[in-house]
Amino acid sequence: MYIIIQAEMYIFKLAFIQISYNYNDIGKNKTEALKNNLLENFDISIEIFNLNIDENTNLIPLINGVDCVVNCTDQPNVFTTGMWIAKACMPLQIPHIIGGGYSTHLGMIGPTIIPFKSPCWGCYEVQTSEPLYKDYTIIRKRKTSYSGSINVIASQVASLQAFEVIKVLTNISSPSMLGRKGEYDPFKLNFNFEFFRRHPLCPLCGEEKNRENKEKLTGVAK
């Protein structure tokens, strides 16, 4: 079962990036068209939600019980939506993967997050705000901008993220992006990776949340 959540949008023209659609889809609802095109080729079941999400959206009823969540949302930016997704996935202990693009031409690969086992998005947020990292150019947060993306970013990032999902859901290999975030620059054809660790002050999996989680798992309040 696949669940697709996307704001209600309609296809008004085709761009090279939209390889999941064809000219017959112009004017159609984006999620409906994607679902129909996928079902033509694959024997799978898909549930769709046309939904604008923001920091106040309660995603928990929608994702409760799923095996993995992939964040592909990019508005207002991938850093912000990454936190929205993480806040919903962490209490439910759902593995999730953050990805997307920013700075007009950079693709973001990972991180892959296994709640309370790997560093999480909250850990990343805490560490990127630490003075220690201010001059460390790789891990520093990039500027975001509102612009279109190019196919080579979307296809590369999507392909790598999809294989991360397979690693999370099977024992084929350990996920490669635990505590690791990648940047793909198609112009320089560079992949850069930065590493981060679990942080005791993380609002999602730090010492306090970790204790609450252990209590929930064992049923023992200390």
**Helix (H/G/I), strand (E/B), else coil: 10:** strand
85 binds Zn ion (CB under 5 A): no
Smallest distance from Zn ion to CB 2, Å: 27
Smallest distance from Zn ion to CB 109, Å: 19
DSSP string, 85-153: HHHHHHHHT--EEE-EEETTTEEEE--EE-TTTS--HHHHHHHHTSGGGTT-TTTSPPP-------HHH
Q: Is the Cα torsion angle 214, 217, 221, 222 positive or negative in sign?
A: negative
Q: Which is nearer to Zn ion, 124 or 184 (CB)?
A: 124
* Candidate ranges 26-34, 58-66, 100-108, 117-125; the one touching Zn ion (CB under 5 A): 117-125
202 binds Zn ion (CB under 5 A): yes
CB atoms closer than 10 angstroms to residue 26: 13
Q: Which is nearer to Zn ion, 34 or 205 (CB)?
A: 205
204 binds Zn ion (CB under 5 A): yes
| Member of 5, 83, 94, 120 binding Zn ion (CB under 5 A) | 120
11 binds Zn ion (CB under 5 A): no
Q: Which residues bind Zn ion (CB under 5 A)?
A: 120, 122-123, 202, 204-205
